[in-house]
Amino acid sequence: MSQKRAIVGQERASGFAGRLLPRNSVRRVAVTFVLILAVLLPLALFSGGWSGWDPVTRTVAATAGACARFLGIDATVDGSVIRLPSRSLSVDPQCTAVDLLAVYAAIVLAYPLPWKKRLMGLALGVVVLQAANLGRLVGVAWASELLTDRPFYFIHDYLFEFGMVFVALMAWAVWLSLARRTA
């Protein structure tokens, strides 16, 4: 009987989750993910009025402005505002990808692997997502110089947002593949 339980405990769940986790782990990971996200996401989304964000948004704006200038875009930075000939772009806390980092961190921390691998996954995610976010901000600056309002806002509000979610999913998939291979 105990041998049968051991075998049942090792069965895989059906579908996509079954390829990633044993059956008895799917619910635990989902609950853990939701609980971690319930803590991290409000911190990410509702801290926009907190003055502690100023150094972060200023740094992101300065870095994006420097990259834009390097690529030949006429950009100056004033605090957390990137000034371009056609418009000004205000970098607020959501422009730092902190909300996406919260979701990424929640799924990495919820996944049942040793803590060293989870922390390496967080480090990978921060680097990849911040680099992608920097590319997104430079792309927004470039698009603002070339496009009228309607296409610009479509690219800013939808295309680049979808691209960031895709990058986060790919970073998670790469981390998971590497971490499970060496587990």
Q: Can you give the C-alpha Rg of the chain in angstroms?
A: 20
Distance CA 172, CA 164 (A): 12
Q: Which of 5-9, 71-75, 131-135 has the lowest mean pLDDT?
A: 5-9
CB 101 within 8 A of CB 44: yes
Mean per-residue pLDDT for 157-165?
A: 93
Interval 8-65: pLDDT, tens: 444 444 555 555 666 567 788 888 889 998 988 887 777 655 566 788 889 999 999 9
pTM for the full predicted model: 0.80
Distance CA 18, CA 1 (A): 24
Return the bridge partners of 11, or none.
none
